[in-house]
Amino acid sequence: MNLSDNLKKIRKEHNLSQEQLADKLGVSRQSVSKWESNQAYPEMDKVLQICKMFNVNIDELMNQDINSVKESKQSKSNLNKYVKDLLEFMTKTVDMFCNMKFKDIIKCLIEQLFVVFIIWLVFVIIGGIGNGIFSNIFHFLPYNVYKVIYSIFSSIYILLVSILGIILFLYVFKTRYLDYYIIIKDEKGDNNDKIDGDKDDNINDDSSNIKNYNSKREKERIIIRDPDNSGYGFFNGLVKCLVFFIKLFVIWIGIGFCFSLVSLVILLVMSFMFVKVGLIFFGVLLILISSILINVIILDIIYNFVVNRKIKKLMLFIIFISSLVGIGIGFGLCFISGINFNISTDYSVKEEEYLDMNDDMIIMNAWADDIEYIIEDRDNIRIEIYHSDFFVKDIDKDDNYIHVGIDNNYDNVMEIIRKEIEDINDKKIVNYNSYKVKIYASSDNINKIKDNNNIID
């Protein structure tokens, strides 16, 4: 950065043409033009005149970036102002409390405690609602992942409400008390109240004059309402701090929507595997495209909020409404076509297990209501498990506790995916993950098993 660039910036900042600046400096317009085009340099007296005119020093004008210098000065000035206003706020608060009557101090403190309680109650209610919403949105995540994300959001929320709570408390205190009270110190007793030093006065008169003098010299402290409501700069600093943390929180939300956008795009690409389905394919396609548009709108709003850019409200509103209409049409198409789908469960495989009966036996599975008890004249227990051929039986034995279920055969994962895609294209929905359990035993043994299961429940 050199003189030519700085001079041009300063001139434009002060809305001066080259001709106007030349008149002020007593030179020709061509001279100013040459200075700004770096074809010539002004004489030293003109440099000094420019520095005085625009309140800059020679080094800033000749060598430094004038905008950076001004921003640095402004930043230091703002910081000094915030510190000064904070000290002024503290001084005025202490001064006010020192001059208030005791009952007024108590009243003020009780009122501030009530304000703190109200702010705390509001944030607790908001936190409870937010906790419920968060749980419903992220309940599908694994517990460890859910716990980490919950801890992050909780920490951010606590930090935000702490800062916001302090700002609200100080603002209420300032508005309710500090802005409307000033202290007047009324000093009585001047030259007219001086003690008469005449030695001829008697002692009683001297004592009386001294008492009157001391009484009149006392300072009356009066608190009155102040109509002027001047602000404090450090409050603006606190507000800026709050805005920063809000933006940080919004960025975290934006990251979540970025993952959502990527997931929706992946689903959009995968949806073309179901092109044979017909209306459902077009319905799902419309839903995914509309959802992607809404996701992009939200990310655009978040970006504009973070970088303080103007939001094109009308255009975003039109796209948002169009996307909602698209989602509605998509669900309608899915419903119309979904009526023709056949829904079934695959129980093509039957496996058996035989167990010796004892009085403390407990037989449970993941879906206990799916157990069917069948009375059969036998001393032992026969368990039948029906499931698809993509899974295998899984029976856990721990003393008298028997857990019955099925286990994944991870070698068949891709085969299951291919089979489900094929089923959907054939307008079928088959649940390969389900199973049912039948227990064959005598009537007495079945009752014992049921009673043991009820004790556990």
How many CB atoms lie under 10 A from the CB of residue 123? 19
β-pair type (401-408, 362-365): parallel
High-pLDDT (> 70) share of the chain, %: 78
pLDDT tens for each residue of 29-59: 888 888 888 788 788 888 888 888 887 777 6
Backbone phi, psi, residue 184, to 5° = -110, 125
Q: Where are the domains of the chain?
A: 3-64, 100-176, 180-225, 264-338, 345-456
- Note the pLDDT of residue 327: 92
Mean pLDDT, rounded, of the chain: 77
Mean pLDDT of 351-371: 77
pLDDT value for 293: 94
**pLDDT of 89-114, one tens digit each?**
888 888 788 877 777 778 788 888 88
CA distance 330 to 272: 15
- Residue 57 CB contacts under 8 Å (≥ 6 apart), including other chains: 51
pLDDT bracket for residue 294 (50, 70, 90) = very high
CATH fold for domain 3-64:
434 Repressor (Amino-terminal Domain) (1.10.260)
Is the pTM of the predicted complex or chain greater than 0.85?
A: no
Residue keyed to tokens 């895609």: 421
How high is the pLDDT of residue 197? 41
Query: Could you read off the pLDDT of 124-155 as tens digits, one per residue?
Result: 888 888 788 878 777 777 777 778 888 888 88
Q: How far apart are CA 368 and CA 453, in angstroms?
A: 9
What would the two tokens of residue 398 be?
């721990």
The amino acid at residue 130 is G
pLDDT at 345 over 80: yes
Sign of the CA dihedral with 252 first, then 253, 254, and 257 last:
positive
270-291 pLDDT per residue, tens: 888 887 777 888 888 999 999 9
More reliable by pLDDT, 63 or 30:
30
